[in-house]
Structure 1
């Protein structure tokens, strides 16, 4: 099979596109003919060496996939040949990734693609959708009618948070960096969309949440969270969700934090159990069937151009170039 992989960490040019042996099929695994995969920031961190994990060599890149079942192991119960499936959480904990024509994935990490959803959409919404769902519901306990603030409402996870929060009856306030992205965020369903370049941003956030007495859930997507600023905008018993910023060392004002019964919730999607991720995935599938879920596909590359896709992801994640709207998807 053809695959995008590396044998040493470094810049995007370490990615090779060549033949590798077809993956072996374990008893609980499903062999998927891959139709689409998505690029996530963590893929670039592993490739660059910024996140140091023990990886197989050669290491096939990628967490997300969507495709069709070609074979099943002897103990597989949930899927059969011909089923369309999507999944995430690959390329971690010793597992090979998904940037290949064929992928062998344990059935516990796979979900049926619902009727009417194409493979590019399924792959694009995989990691970001599950991440947003875990943060909102498992960790922050979102309730209908609450006010959710999303710092970056058109990024992969940010857009997913907007969609899921609105589908659950929340009021959503989000920030963006351009007029074009403002329109995109409004189309996702955000009730109030603010320009994060504005000199009056904090006043505007507080004014938007004033009738609620503050923010119930603050979802932070930035790599340098401003916790001290955030705490002053939270409602009593509010929850601040952190999912980025490995090297950040923000100030935490303890007084207003504990006297307002606030919670600071940090989580990483790949720590969630298969059952927890399945709850998220099945809810996402139901929302799709009800017309309340989708995923934005930004640019589509052939798998052979995985290095170019990684460069584009890094430009937008690290250099904040703002040239990408939606997820990067690759097709074998």
Structure 2
């Protein structure tokens, strides 16, 4: 057991009750909370970095489906994606010997509660950070982002070589890895964004990966997508990846018998989209809903395959982080979430909670006798 086990308190962004609608995200400040208790089955992770997600906005106010179902409810620590160092193994000897980790391992993963100095996480939700990848870059990729996009595009949507894929919010936390995944699988990609600034980011960072970048805030943008598709000899795109809430517009872009994959409870201004069924029928469109978390809870092999595919792309150098900004300290979480809410963020905003060298020194220190 590491010296981290002797610590009893930590700093965390704690949600004792839902954040009121009239209260801004900067009001979220770290408070003193107990370090998670030793677990027979879970790892204790000393967190160095955590990335911000749209889901964090919803979780804090109780607006996500997982809040409505009771899966995530107060009191809890906010945050979903992290990188850090293994501080303690499971207390059960068999679980510790078979978990595949050692104290001091550099890891990344996803769990509720990552805006904190420590988190208790099942080994299945954690992976070792690949050699040559920093903990900052691991958080910049976000363990729950490329895996979600891999599952949505490959396992749910069946994207293959030669497909023409429309990726909405291509500069976002889910969209950026989606572009890279589709391109790596041999598909051609059209990207959409919500601002000209984000269009510039996609063009500069993704270059040859995209055939074109279209601003979905410009009226009639769907015609531009169809125009690009026709240049590729197609009447429309084969598949749309929608994390925004653009199903009706996407139907105008997709070919007959094409597909739309919806992920992340996509909804603009907090409202899920309503679409008349005749729109779907006219083009014989398949509209597929994808829940990464629920798919994994029902079938652990699904999650394992998403990780396998993601790690394969990382090993081949076909995926890299897109980092908007690095914030420092848990005090900055509220500021970062406000920027995310105001749609200023592209890629990932990452919070450095503690320095990697400080955490490694702490968790590998020999206990005082």
When normalised by structure 2's length, the TM-score is 0.80
Query: Is 1:250 equivalent to 2:263 in the alignment?
Result: no
Q: Determine the structure 2 residue equivalent to 1:190.
A: 210
- Match of residue 278 from structure 1: 304
In 2, Cα distance between equivalents of 1:257 and 1:241: 13
Q: How far is the alpha carbon of 1:19 from its aligned partner?
A: 2.1
Quick one: which of 303, 307, 312 aligns to 2:334? 307
Cα separation, 1, equivalents of 2:127 and 2:162: 30
The Cα shift of 1:235 comes to 2.4
Q: Does 1:143 align with 2:143?
A: no
Aligned match of 1:83: 105
Alpha-carbon distance in structure 2 between the residues aligned to 1:4 and 1:278: 29
1:15 corresponds to 2:48: no
Shift of 1:124: 2.8
Structure 2 residue ranges without an equivalent (≥5): 1-9, 354-369
TM-superposed deviation, 1:58? 3.7
Any idea what SS the aligned residue of 1:20 has?
strand
Is 1:207 aligned to 2:222, yes or no?
no
Say which SS state the counterpart of residue 306 (structure 1) adopts. helix
List per-residue Cα deviations over 1:92-134 (Å, max 9, x = no partner): xxxxx11111111001111111111111221232222121111
Q: Counterparts in 2 of 1:1-80, with a 5 A limit?
A: 1-10=10-19, 11=23, 12=25, 15-51=28-64, 52-53=67-68, 54=70, 55=72, 57-73=74-90, 74=92, 75-76=95-96, 77=98, 78-80=100-102
Partner Cα distance (1:153, 1:82) in 2: 35
Structure 1 residues 9 and 259: CA distance shift in structure 2, 3 A? closer
C-alpha deviation, 1:64, in angstroms? 0.7
Identify the residue that residue 357 of structure 2 maps to in structure 1. none
CA distance in 2, matches of 1:150, 1:292: 17
C-alpha distance after superposition, 1:157-215 (max 9, x if no partner): 11121111111110000122444433321332212212334445222211211213321
Residues 1:111 and 2:111 are matched in the alignment: no
Is 2:317 aligned against 1:291? yes
TM-score if structure 1 supplies the norm length? Answer: 0.88
Whether the 8 Å CA contact 1:113–1:285 is kept in 2: the answer is no
Aligned equivalents of 2:310, 2:242: Cα separation in 1: 21
State the match for 2:5 in structure 1.
none
Aligned to 2:352: 331
C-alpha distance in 2 between matches for 1:117 and 1:48 = 34
- Structure 1 residues without counterparts, runs of 5 or longer: 92-96, 317-322
Q: Does structure 1 conserve the Cα–Cα contact (< 8 Å) formed by 2:12 and 2:33?
A: yes
Listed one character per residue, the Cα deviations across residues 125-148 of structure 1 (whole Å, up to 9, x for unaligned) are 222212111110111111111000
Question: Contact 1:9/1:48 (CA < 8 Å) preserved in 2?
Answer: yes
1:170 aligns with 2:187: yes
Cα–Cα, structure 1 residues 31 and 285, in superposed 2: closer, same or farther, change >3 Å?
same
Shift of 1:16: 3.6
Q: Please give the secondary structure, in 2, of the residue aligned with 1:116.
A: coil
Is the 2:229–2:235 Cα contact (8 Å) retained in structure 1? Answer: yes
Deviation for aligned residue 1:253 = 4.2
Q: Alpha carbons of 1:46 and 1:180: their partners in 2 closer, same or farther (altered >3 Å)?
A: closer
Query: Secondary structure of the equivalent of 1:272?
Result: helix
* Separation in structure 2 between the aligned mates of residue 230 and residue 237 of structure 1, nearest angstrom: 13
Aligned-CA RMSD value: 2.1
263, 282, 285: which one pairs with 2:286? 263
Distance (Å, rounded) in 2 between the aligned partners of 1:214 and 1:34: 44
Length, aligned pairs only: 317
| CA distance, structure 2, for counterparts of residue 236 and residue 226 of structure 1 | 15
On the 8 A contact 2:222/2:252 being kept in 1, the answer is no
